Structure 1
Amino acid sequence: MAFPGEDELVTLITPLTESCGLDIEGVKVTRAGRKSVVSIRLDSDSRPDLDLLESVSQEISALLDAAEERGEVNLGAGYTLEVSTPGVDAPLTLPRHWRRNRNHLVELTEDGQTSVWRVGPVAPDQTAVVLVRSGKKDREMRVLEFTENTRAVVEIEFATPPAVETELTALNYDQAIAWQEENK
């Protein structure tokens, strides 16, 4: 009975999280002497609330305890389970992250330069996302391919987004591309 790796834990808990409509965004196991800390980050399109996270946490704990009793895993003399969401400072690295943050501002870092854009629709084939921003005189749109070496993090925004931007982010992908072509 070996100490489980992160991949092994993902395999163990995936059926449970999928049945709850949650994606595993990260698993980290930290050994602290004879004990350990298992940190699991979960998310979904509908943004899980605290009640759901608590319920899933209890189910994961029962699952891990049962796996230990069967001798499948050994988490040490005891473990602490932490279940949370990724948080707003988590980088957008997968198409689902972009889809979940549609209409939000993101700070892009490309080649050491930063810029702020509003997230629009993701391409149907999940390869790109439309980004928009409004300047002093015009609206600007671009397509960001997910293969580009770009870091993106959601920006906290307290004001109501400008209507000139949300009109464009509300378009579907094909409509947005057509708008971009018409407004070159």
Structure 2
Amino acid sequence: MVMAFPHKEQLADSLRGLVEEFGLVIEDIKITKAGAKSAIRIAVDTADPRAERPDLDRLEELSREVSAHLDDAEAKGDMSFGPGYTLELSTPGVDFPLTERRHWVRNIGRQVRLADGVHRIAQVGDEDVVLITPHKKSPRVRRVRFADHAGAVVEVEFSPAPNAEAELVGLAIEAYDVPEAQDPAED
């Protein structure tokens, strides 16, 4: 029986343990099926959002292990990749959407684009995020549930944060005495 090209969930299930041995998590898998031009793109990151992202040497080592694992799975008949495929292993790029709490934590201090504009991530709680919104007189601070803003994307900045915003970044979560889901239109 010839196995079909594996789908994203099959690959994730097959690779999860191996990736975790490296102290990493699978963030995303993209599969492009095109015969000999098929591609498997795997984005991995550290499980601890405050840890350094894996360097190129670590990614290269993991890539060799993943490649060997997939070759073994194909040889055993557990998976079939057709006439050939390309494996790409990387960390998530700046355009990777923030969907998990750890994504928000990793980006504390950075600007993020939400549906209502650009804000700076000041701090992250268990289920909410404290956002700083630039304002003429002084920055506004509000809390929102990060689950309500899954898919937000980091904005690239080419200069440091304004002092008034930078001073609000990284305080203890209790220091932000603002109501949850405060409507900025009320200001």
The 5 A counterparts of 1:51-62 are 51-62=57-68
Query: What corresponds to 1:83 in structure 2?
Result: 89
Query: What corresponds to 2:80 in structure 1?
Result: 74
What is the alpha-carbon distance in structure 2 between the residues aligned to residue 153 and residue 35 of structure 1?
30
Runs of 4+ in 1 over 3 A off after TM superposition: none
Query: What corresponds to 2:29 in structure 1?
Result: 27
- How many residue pairs were aligned? 174
TM-score by length of 1: 0.85
Q: CA RMSD in A?
A: 1.9
Query: What corresponds to 2:161 in structure 1?
Result: 161
- Correspondent of 2:121 among 119, 125, 142: 119
What is the alpha-carbon distance in structure 2 between the residues aligned to residue 149 and residue 106 of structure 1?
10
What is the alpha-carbon distance in structure 1 between the residues aligned to residue 19 and residue 122 of structure 2?
28
**1:107–1:51: structure 2 CA closer, same or farther, 3 Å change rule?**
same
**1:97–1:149: structure 2 CA closer, same or farther, 3 Å change rule?**
closer
Q: Match of 2:166, SS? A: helix
Structure 2 unaligned spans of 5+: 180-186
Q: CA deviation at 1:34?
A: 5.0
Query: What corresponds to 2:182 in structure 1?
Result: none
The one-letter code of the counterpart of 1:62 is A
Structure 1 unaligned spans of 5+: none
- Correspondent of 1:14 among 1, 13, 16: 16
Q: Which has the higher strand share?
A: 1
Q: Match of 1:65, SS? A: helix
Whether the 8 Å contact between 1:134 and 1:164 is mirrored in structure 2 is no
**Identical columns (%):** 45
What is the alpha-carbon distance in structure 2 between the residues aligned to residue 147 and residue 13 of structure 1?
27
Q: CA deviation at 1:91?
A: 1.7
The one-letter code of the counterpart of 1:138 is S
